[in-house]
Chains A and B, each alone.
Chain A
Amino acid sequence: MQLEASTLLTKESSEEELEDSILAERLEEHRQCRVLVVDDDDLVRAKFSSLLKSAHYDVELASTGEEALRILANIDCHLVLTDWQMPDMDGLALCREVRLAHQDRYIYVLMLTVRSTRQDVLLGLASGADDYIVKGAPISEILARLEVGRRITHVDDSVRAANQENKRLSLIDQLTEAYNLRYLMKYLPRELSRAQRYSRPLAVLNCDIDDFKQFNDCHGHAVGDEILRGFVKHCDACIRQGCDWLARVGGDEFIIVLPETSFHGAAHVEKKLRRHFATQPILTRAGPIQVRVSIGVTAVDAKQHLHSAAGIEDLIRTADRRMYADKQRNGEVCKNEIH
């Protein structure tokens, strides 16, 4: 009797220890985790489906490696629980395929098999499995190991999301959501190389908001910021989406890149921009504000062969020079309007 009581006590305390040691509370409670169970035995699939659903996993089932790959190609799965020996593609081949095919998210693979020699385990892990369990292990152990997979994929997802966001922030101007100078320096050379390789034209427009400082001085920086954001929206409305792009390279200076566009085509875009800014004021908290824009246009002809580095410099310098010439003309126009 005493022995029974002590056994019971030990069991209870070990369960408490297990609960205390679980990091569950630190994880997002409601984060969905989908497990793909791959086994050619329908009863084994059914049993895991039932168990995993009751453990709050979303479950997908596959009876072959081929079917598993088809599911993985269409449905976002975090974990794969796979048998080794299956008809057609076995678990090892499946592991290799998963590692080759899914580069953009980490899939945690747990191999569950009756093969239990040391060599089997090493072979399974070498093929790309993250964990290896011999069938016959208690269900609680299998679930605990799946929890490890859930934790690891959660961390991996977070790191990837943070990296993606950092990458985005490093190439985007936060104020206007246009690309920034870094993006321009990274991708304009590529656009130029592509244009030269395939003998295609490429145009660049250098744009600057006239008297932007005055807007800031008169209405404050908040309105200045609204003008910059409005400027980007207006430009976006005048260029081709998914092909042309715009980068903010200075306070109120922007460069528009027009791939597959000749000088003639760029001049057309320039006119379109001027017309747009002349007719559509930018809406700000200080009311609608009409802005005037100086634009310098330059283009690489399909037949021109420029050395890449020099080409970029020439392209930007020419556009810049023309933009300043335009600004001078605008200034004279302003003076004429005032007098």
Chain B
Amino acid sequence: MRSTRIAALTAQPPPDDFDDLRAAFEARMQSERIHFVALSAALASRGDDPHEIFGDLVFRAHKLRGAAEIFEATEFAKAANALEQAAIAASSAHADNADPAVWEALGDLVSLIGSLAPRKLDS
């Protein structure tokens, strides 16, 4: 018979609870997609002063990455990390709003979230 402590190490939450959280995470992803699209528009219109937008991208991508790692959505975590690193690099280099690495990572992340069928993540 397994001890309580052993059970603790291999514990999983009750299925209903887990499903609810998963659904909430998926809903969050869709809402983040809208934020990233809005940030894309803002970045496009900023010209020579995109640093504030880079900061917002870093913040949002970082947060998304953390949640995606915890919900074992590895692809999303990777895409969010790519955007976070690209935005950090662009900000450090005082890049303008046309920084290709940022746009590529932003595009990848938005399309990846867009391709997400309801209730189906890559985990």
A43 in contact with B8 (CB, 8 Å)? no
Q: Which residues of B88-113 are within 8 A (CB) of A?
A: none
How far in angstroms is the closest Cβ of chain A from B50?
22
Q: Binding site of B, secondary structure by majority: helix, strand, loop or mixed?
A: helix
Are B9 and A43 in contact (CB-based, < 8 A)?
Answer: no
Mark out the residues of chain B between 1 and 40 whose CB falls within 8 Å of any chain A CB in the assembled complex.
2-14, 17-18, 21, 24-25, 28
The 8 closest A-B CB pairs, nearest first, are A24-B5, A135-B69, A55-B11, A55-B8, A50-B13, A136-B69, A54-B11, A50-B17
CB of B46 closer than 8 Å to a CB of A: no
Give chain A interface residues in 42-85, CB to chain B under 8 Å: 43-44, 46-48, 50-51, 53-57, 83, 85
- 15 A-B pairs besides A50-B17, A114-B66 with CB distance below 8 A are A24-B3, A24-B5, A29-B3, A43-B21, A43-B67, A44-B67, A47-B70, A50-B21, A54-B12, A55-B8, A55-B11, A135-B66, A143-B10, A143-B11, A144-B9
Which residue of chain A lies nearest to B64 when distances are taken between CB atoms in the complex? A41
B-chain residues with CB within 8 Å of residue A143 when the two chains form the complex: 8-11
| Complex partner residue of B21 from A24, A46, A114, CB under 8 angstroms | A46
B interface residues with partner A (beta carbon < 8 Å): 2-14, 17-18, 21, 24-25, 28, 62-63, 65-67, 69-71, 74, 77, 81
Please judge, given known A-B contacts A24-B6, A85-B62, whether A114 and B13 are in contact too, CB under 8 Å: no
Residues of B within 8 A of A53 (CB): 13
Most buried by B among A22, A47, A56: A47
For chain A, residues 125 to 157, give those with C-beta under 8 angstroms from any C-beta of chain B: 135-136, 139-140, 143-144, 147
Cβ of A27 under 8 Å from chain B: yes
Chain B nearest CB from A80 CB (Å) reads 17
**Contact of A50 with B9 in the complex, beta carbons under 8 Å:** no
Q: Determine chain A's interface SS by DSSP, over half rule.
A: helix
Which residues on B sit within 8 Å (CB–CB) of A40? 63
Chain A residues, Cβ within 8 Å of B2: 19
Closest to B2 in A: A19
Contacts of A147 on B, CB cut-off 8 Å?
Answer: 5, 8-9
Contact of B5 among A22, A39, A41, A54 (CB under 8 A): A22
